[in-house]
Amino acid sequence: MSLLASIIALSLSGAAPAADYRERPPEDEIIYFVLPDRFENDDPKNDRGGLEGDRLQTGYDPTAKGFFHGGDLAGLTKRLDYIEGLGATAIWFAPIFKNKPVQGPKGDESAGYHGYWVTDFTQVDPHFGTNAEFKAFVDAAHKRGMKVYMDIIANHTADVITYKEDAAGGFRYRSLADFPYSRRGGIRGASINSGFSGDHVADLENWKKLTDPAFAYTPVVPKDAERVKVPAWLNDPLYYHNRGNSDWVGESALYGDFSGLDDLATENPHVVQGFIDIYGRWIDEFGIDGFRIDTAKHVNPEFWQAFVPAMLARAKARGIPNFHIFGEVYVDAVDPGALAWYTHAAGLPAVLDFGFARAAIDALSGTKGTGEFARLFDGDALYKGGAGAAQELPTFLGNHDMGRFAMFVKAANPAASEAELLQRVMLGHAMLLTLRGVPTIYYGDEQGFVSDDKDQLARETMFASKVAAYNDNDLIGSAATTATANFDPAHPLYRHIATLSEIRRKTPALMRGATKVRAFSEKPGLLAVSRFDPDTGREVLLAFNTSAAPLSANIAIDMKSAGFTALHGDCPASPAAPGSLHLSLPAFGTIICQAS
């Protein structure tokens, strides 16, 4: 039996009993992130979401990258074998709540296939299926011992509210100073909202005095959309900031509409309790295991200070002691301090580790050395809870917003051979699956998907695509294209990830072990890291070569490490001297050595 077949057989035989999955801490997981619309279409009857008309009414156009393609929850359930065989233990998927089907200016419309334009927070979007089908998916995953993480949004809803003024000007952001809550339409306007003490006073009695939402713009809700949002309180403009479009700087990053999306007044205690009720229900009724929080940095910290403890308590009461909450704080740099701030000020237990992604992209593309990882790990002390808390950060190489990891590697190495690109991408996944944090695999990366750019161009379908901009891509490690289905468990990247996932799950040091950087380079070359078993203290040495040439080096090790077993690659059986191990790595090679 092949290694891959053994892994799949072991997984399907119940190696991780369903009864035990609740007990796993977040850092023990391997996450698979997927957009349901782009994964598998098991029920063509729901492709149009029960709507009639052309693509501007139904949102369905499988030939256009910005419209629904047909993937659904039944398809996700159907492909659980594939996801489990890869080694994933948790599935995070883009929002499945009912969305506004289509929005955008005339001639530049797109659909809510991605799930971030919510109108009904209580219902699965009919394009994806039903609440009952979601329950069936969660139950099927749990039966295998796999966790389910929902992608949630509190920052905004779909773009329903418009404004009476400045349509020609693009609804530019209007600030608190120039357009205070106390005047209608500017500091010279009529006095309104008498007695309102400001949005920093989180008291219901204070917020009852905010009765006029036309302090900056006059919000207008189209007649045919006055009751489109669920729960019903979301239809009232009083619960929104109504200050126009964010310019992503300073105050507007919190108060501005996200490209037209209706920005909620998350300072209002009614909004806080409303979202606690909304998302608490999904925990109560479906027993999900975690939340990824979209646009977390665009919400005031006080909201999260109230929301997070409420969700953790709700989960604990439901018998879910290890509920994993992590926020999206998009910081495209190796800047741990900028990320860690949100674990202190906002009380988020974890954030997506954009710093890890940046370090991996730069190191594996050859544009920088491996010292970026040393700087990244030095910053772990900044997180609330220190380096131990950093173990819960979901790490990743690329995603649906920034683009795929292979794209960055290929763009930086336009003359590289197919074999070299595959080696670099495989090395990136070796780092992802062995270094600290919770490895998060972006769907399709295991099939060599490349992407042409970020956003819509990085959201290819796993089932046969009809999008020309996807189908002309040269996939890495395969002669296939996205014009045919790509669920090949024999793909070299799939096999590589499955192998390393199995090693990780069997090696506590790789899931929860402390990190000690042993060697790094300021140019492409060596990165050596020791991780230590949290119970026994036994060392596991990781070594990576990001250069195109083989290398050898003496690596400092624990004085107690008297012998080594190779978990991956060629490891010396014994140290060259107490406290020193001599390693040789091939180009783009990985070695995992476990001390005896």
pLDDT digits (tens, 9 = 90+) for 334-380: 999 999 999 999 999 999 999 999 999 999 999 999 999 999 999 99
Of 181, 192, 112, 182, residue with least CA distance to 153: 112
Q: For the beta carbon of residue 19, count every other beta carbon within 10 angstroms.
A: 9
> Hey, which bits of 320-448 come out as E strands?
324-327, 394-395, 438-442
Q: Judge whether residue 3 has pLDDT over 70.
A: no
Strand, helix or coil at 380? helix
How far is it, in rounded angstroms, from Cα 388 to Cα 397?
21
- 159 or 20: which leads in pLDDT: 159
Flag whether pLDDT at 298 surpasses 80.
yes
Residue-wise pLDDT for 96-132, tens only, equals 999 999 999 999 999 999 999 999 999 999 999 999 9
- pLDDT (0 to 100) of residue 247: 96
Identify whether 488 is a catalytic site residue: no
User: Mean pLDDT, to the nearest integer, of 435-451?
Assistant: 98
Instruction: Classify each residue of 146-168 as buried b or exposed e, where b means 16 or more C-beta atoms within 10 Å of its C-beta.
Output: bbbbbbbbbbbbbbbbbbeeeee
Nearest to 280 by CA among 122, 130, 147, 148: 122
pLDDT at site 17: 46
Percent of the chain with pLDDT strictly greater than 90: 96
What's the pLDDT at 19? 57
Angle at 416 between CA 413 and CA 420, to 5 degrees: 110
Nearest Cα residue to 161 out of 107, 208, 121, 119: 119
pLDDT, residue 39, reads 98
Q: Which of 61, 72, 289, 294 is catalytic?
A: 294
Average pLDDT over residues 200-215: 97
Q: Which residues of 69-86 are buried (b: 16+ CB within 10 A; e: fewer)?
A: bbbbbbbbbbbbebbbbb
CB environment 243-274: b (16+ within 10 A), e (fewer): bbbbeeeeebbbbbbbebbbbbbbbbbebbeb
- Which residue among 28, 212, 328, 533 is the active-site one? 328
pLDDT higher than threshold 60 for residue 444: yes
Which helix (H) or strand (E) segment holds residue 540: the answer is strand 539-545
* Rounded average pLDDT over 279-287: 98
pLDDT of 237 = 98
Higher pLDDT, 440 or 7: 440
Mean pLDDT of the chain: 96
3-state secondary structure 149-170: EEEECCCECCCCCEECCCCCCC
Question: Catalytic site residue 328?
Answer: yes
Using the predicted structure, report yes or no on whether residue 2 has a pLDDT greater than 80.
no
Flag whether pLDDT at 11 surpasses 50: no
Cα 403 from Cα 188, distance rounded (Å)? 46
DSSP 462-475: SSPP--HHHHT---
Is the confidence at residue 14, as pLDDT, over 60? no
**Which residues fall within 8 angstroms of residue 414, CB to CB, at 6 or more apart?**
none
Kindly report the CA angle at 462 between 459 and 466, in degrees rounded to 5?
Answer: 75
Average the pLDDT over each of 10-14, 366-370, 383-387, 528-532 and give the range with the smallest value: 10-14
Asked if pLDDT for residue 8 goes beyond 60, the answer is no
Residue 418 has pLDDT above 80, yes or no: yes
CB 153 within 8 A of CB 118: yes
Residue 13 has pLDDT above 50, yes or no: no
Considering only 11-25, 208-222, 306-320, 455-469, which range has the smallest mean pLDDT?
11-25
**Which of 510, 527, 499 has the alpha carbon at shortest distance from 583?**
527
Q: How far is CA 551 from CA 158, 524, 544, 586, in A?
A: 53, 11, 10, 7
The DSSP bridge partners found for residue 98 are: 120
Which uninterrupted H or E stretch holds 431? Answer: helix 418-434
Q: Quick one: how many helices (H) and strands (E) in the chain?
A: 18, 20
Asked if 590 and 543 count as a contact pair (C-beta separation under 8 A), the reply is yes
Mean pLDDT of 303-317: 98
* DSSP 3-state of 275: helix
CA 188 – CA 193 distance, rounded (Å): 15
Instruction: Supply 543's token pair.
Output: 């070594």
Alpha-carbon span 454 to 474, nearest angstrom: 17
Residues contacting 246, CB < 8 A, separation 6+: 173, 252, 253, 255, 256, 257, 258, 259, 263, 298
For every residue of 219-234, DSSP letters joined together read: EE--GGGTT-SBSGGG
Tokens of 183: 């005047």
pTM of this structure: 0.96
Structure token digits, residue 373: 């990882």
- High-pLDDT (> 70) share of the chain, %: 97
Closest among 122, 179, 193, 128 to 152, alpha carbons compared? 122
Confidence category of residue 388, pLDDT binned at 50, 70, 90: very high
Average pLDDT of 438-449? 98
Task: Output DSSP code: residue 311.
Answer: H
Spell out the alpha helix ranges (H) of 160-295. Answer: 204-207, 252-255, 269-286
277 φ/ψ sector (left φ>0, alpha ψ -120 to 50, else beta): alpha
Burial of 112 (0-12, 13-18, 19+ CB in 10 A): buried
pLDDT over 50 at 16, yes or no: no
Q: What is the rounded average pLDDT of the residues 313-320?
A: 98
Starting at the edge strand found earlier in the chain, the sheet holding 90-93 runs 324-327, 290-293, 147-152, 90-93, 31-34, 438-442, 394-395
- What is the model's pLDDT at position 199? 98
Amino acid (1-letter code) at residue 572: P
The one-letter amino acid code at 185 reads G
Residue 18 has what pLDDT?
55
Domains (range + CATH), the chain: 29-153+418-427+445-506 (3.30.750.90), 156-264 (no CATH), 511-595 (2.60.40.1180)
- pLDDT reading at 331 higher than 70: yes
Angle at 217 between CA 216 and CA 222, to 5 degrees: 155
Q: Hey, what are 231's tokens?
A: 């729960």
The residue among 433, 419, 410, 402 whose CA lies nearest residue 364 is: 410
Query: How far is residue 114 from each of residues 82, 93, 266, measured CA to CA in Å?
Result: 22, 10, 23
